[in-house]
Structure 1
Amino acid sequence: MSAAVVPTVRIQAQDFDVAAEISRLTQGRADIGAVVSFSGLCRDEQGALSALELEHYPGMAEAEISRIATEALQRWPLQGLTAIHRHGKIAPGENIVLVVAASVHRQAAFEAANFLMDYLKSRAPFWKKEHRTDGSEGGWVEAKEADARAAQRWKPSE
């Protein structure tokens, strides 16, 4: 594991500031040569979504994301790692998730950010429900097979 690096993991209802989170991770650091960030937004391609509601088990979700973030620190030489995931009702265009990986060189940061996002999309303990602009509920959103396939690439070879 990267020496003395502790991942920052937060699950929160309130929005986050991407630039402020990157600054928090890198401020005063001369040992970081690369920062890779991914921010996921609530999208509405058909114009029918009023909000996406995300639910989680408090405590369990943080523990699981911390576990996978620690695994990323064991796999890649990182100088810092942040994962923030929102819960509650999130309107189209608003932030849902942020991953920031910092390392000496870019490849480790890219791979660690990709690894963590693949986990968050396929296995993190969140449940999503759609709320439509016509007042109806679109129901619970099923996990996508493509996300599960993407996460398979990180499994150790047997």
Structure 2
Amino acid sequence: MSSVSDGTDVVLCDVREEPLSVDEVLDAVRHSQCGGIALFVGVVRDHDNGADVAALDYSAHPSAVETLQRVCAEVGARHGVARLAAVHRTGHLEIGDTAVVVAVAAAHRGEAFTACRDLIDTLKSTVPIWKHQRFADGSDEWVGLP
């Protein structure tokens, strides 16, 4: 766990090949002073831009966890929330598998919702994790490459 100067705790940040647990992320941000917890769960869907998705693979740069920790700290500082957690999956994922789980705890729901959206959006645009989509027709596409 790392704490930023404004009192925000980044309680869980990881990139892993093992299946993700929503309960692990939710439990990580719980705190007696927080009345609002916002949670986002991203799952592999069966389509993208009109094409049928068969499966996908996520790859991560070695700096991904460090970058994810920095993103969590920055989002926490921007919104003054109490606790943040984010875990992203790598490796092969099938339709319906959980790809990412982020959670934010704050004194009130409004701050939690706003910070949670900022966290997932910033994670997706900043953390070096790339998606290799495999389509039902045999074609494929990389998403998120620099």
- TM-score norm. by structure 1 comes to 0.78
Q: Which amino acid aligns with 2:98?
A: N
Partner residue in 1 for 2:40: 38
2:142 is the alignment partner of 1:140? yes
SS at match of 1:53: strand
C-alpha change, 1:131 and 1:67, in structure 2 (3 Å) is same
Q: Cα distance 1:142–1:63, how it changes in 2: closer, same or farther (>3 A)?
A: closer
Distance change (3 Å), C-alpha of 1:142 and 1:64: closer
RMSD: 2.0
1:50-101 superposed Cα distances (whole Å, 9 cap, x missing partner):
311111112x111111111111121122221000100111111110011100
Aligned to 2:24: 20
Q: CA contact under 8 A between 2:28 and 2:85: conserved in structure 1?
A: no
Task: State the match for 2:125 in structure 1.
Answer: 122
Q: Which runs of 5+ in 2 are unaligned?
A: none
Contact 1:7 1:70 in 2 (8 A): no
- Return closer, same or farther for 1:79/1:128 CA change in 2, 3 Å cut-off: same
Offset at residue 132 of structure 1 (A) = 3.4
Unaligned runs of 5+ in 1: 144-158
Of 71, 81, 86, which residue of structure 2 is paired with 1:83? 86
Residue 54 of structure 1 aligns with an amino acid whose one-letter code is Y
Moved over 3 A (4+): none
Q: Decide whether the 8 Å contact of 2:55 with 2:92 is kept in 1.
A: yes
Q: Determine which structure has the larger strand proportion and give its number.
A: 2
1:128 CA displacement: 1.2
Alignment: residue pair count:
139
